[in-house]
Amino acid sequence: MATSAATLQLDVGAATDVGRQRSSNEDSMLVLLPPDLCPGPTGLLVVADGMGGHQAGEVASRFVVQGFREMFQSGEELRSVSVSPAHPDFWLVALKEAIERIHEAVLRYAAGRPDWRGMGSTVTAALVVGDRLFVGHLGDTRAYLVRTGEAHQLTQDHTLVAEQVRIGVLTPEEAAVHPQRNVLTQAVGAESQVVVERTCWQLLNGDVLVLCSDGLSGLVRPEEIAAVVHHYRNVQAASATLVALANQRGGPDNITAVVARAREGGRAGTPTLRLRHRRRRQTRPSAASLAVALGVLVLVVGAYAMSPKIQGVLDVVRNILRIS
């Protein structure tokens, strides 16, 4: 299968939480690293945010991660991809066809259960092969690339208000508070035909990928995400801190963060994660432990306090510490 000459490894951390206002967690996530990944890629990361009543959203998001596991774990399913493994776009096509197959499976499954009709899920999948990053996406989960202290959003939100922003009908500020900001225009399981967004990027040593559900991105700004992953070399600590920060701001939705740091070969700094979907509410860290973690964050953000974009982050975190 097509690979790149340079190979980057991934150190991965992940955290998910039901939030403070939901009774179950409809987010699902998947991390596959060698040796649990088919030959060629060095990492597959997936975040899915389910939707639908009667726990249908939870089922749909689990369908997404299970579909990716079946296609990319052994690699047998990749034999049916419509282009040759030697084709330069093979991995982009593989992501696209994986999402399309999962979409069709969810539609068939929902058709047999009237109470699950209309269930669906967002999906953001990132596949690293050599020094190339391939992204497949539907919905409003997001992928960010943090490089040289700045977070760049790699995916577009497939929502009604995001489209209105793109054509100039709404400003980003108006979209952030719009009552229809969570109305999706593209999702796995949507009755209309899906058009999978797919892109390819070059990764550099030290780049950090962040995949997250809107329970995080709706509350934590890109510059705050960049500040957290810059400070925490430990990617598991970074993902847990991002989730804790969203919870501190009310946690109205399920919250999921997957953080992956790219590095040149050598020994892995973080073992392969074996993640299972969590339905029940997780035990939250104590207020004291949150205060300590966020206190450390204040120190790193303070180091960047000369930047106007970061000063607002510092003020918010100080307020969080005062009410912890």
Bigger pLDDT: 291 vs 75: 75
DSSP state of 76: G
Q: Is residue 305 part of a domain?
A: no
Bigger pLDDT: 6 vs 8: 8
Q: Is residue 130 part of a domain?
A: yes
Which residues lie below 8 Å from residue 15, measured CB to CB, with a gap of 6+?
A: 236, 239, 240, 242, 243, 256, 257
Element (H, E) at 126: strand 123-129
The count of other CB atoms within 10 Å of the CB of residue 174 is 13
Q: Is residue 314 part of a domain?
A: no
- Looking at residue 291, its pLDDT comes to 44
Q: Which residues of 21-39 are buried (b: 16+ CB within 10 A; e: fewer)?
A: ebeebbbbbbbbbeeebbe
- Looking at residue 180, its pLDDT comes to 72
Classify burial at 250, counting beta carbons within 10 Å of its beta carbon; exposed 0-12, middle 13-18, buried 19 or more.
exposed
Which residues lie below 8 Å from residue 286, measured CB to CB, with a gap of 6+?
A: none
Closest CA to 201 of 8, 49, 62, 1: 8
- Looking at residue 266, its pLDDT comes to 54
Q: How far apart are CA 282 and CA 24, in angstroms?
A: 10
Which residues lie below 8 Å from residue 316, measured CB to CB, with a gap of 6+?
A: 224
Domain of 139, in residue numbers: 8-270
Confidence band for 2, pLDDT divided at 50, 70 and 90? low
Mean pLDDT of 207-228: 97
Mean pLDDT of 310-323: 45
Task: Report the CATH number at residue 158.
Answer: 3.60.40.10
Classify burial at 222, counting beta carbons within 10 Å of its beta carbon; exposed 0-12, middle 13-18, buried 19 or more.
middle
Q: Is residue 232 part of a domain?
A: yes
Which residues lie below 8 Å from residue 223, measured CB to CB, with a gap of 6+?
A: 150, 151, 309, 310, 313
Confidence band for 192, pLDDT divided at 50, 70 and 90? confident
Q: Is residue 285 part of a domain?
A: no
List pLDDT tens digits, range 67-93. 999 999 999 999 999 999 999 999 999
Q: Is residue 294 part of a domain?
A: no
Q: How far apart are CA 196 and CA 201, in angstroms?
A: 17
Q: Are 47 and 124 in contact (CB under 8 A)?
A: yes
Q: Lowest-pLDDT range, 196-205, 249-258, 313-322? A: 313-322
- Looking at residue 231, its pLDDT comes to 95
Q: Is residue 102 part of a domain?
A: yes
Q: Is residue 198 part of a domain?
A: yes
Q: Are 184 and 125 in contact (CB under 8 A)?
A: no
* Total of domains in the chain: 1
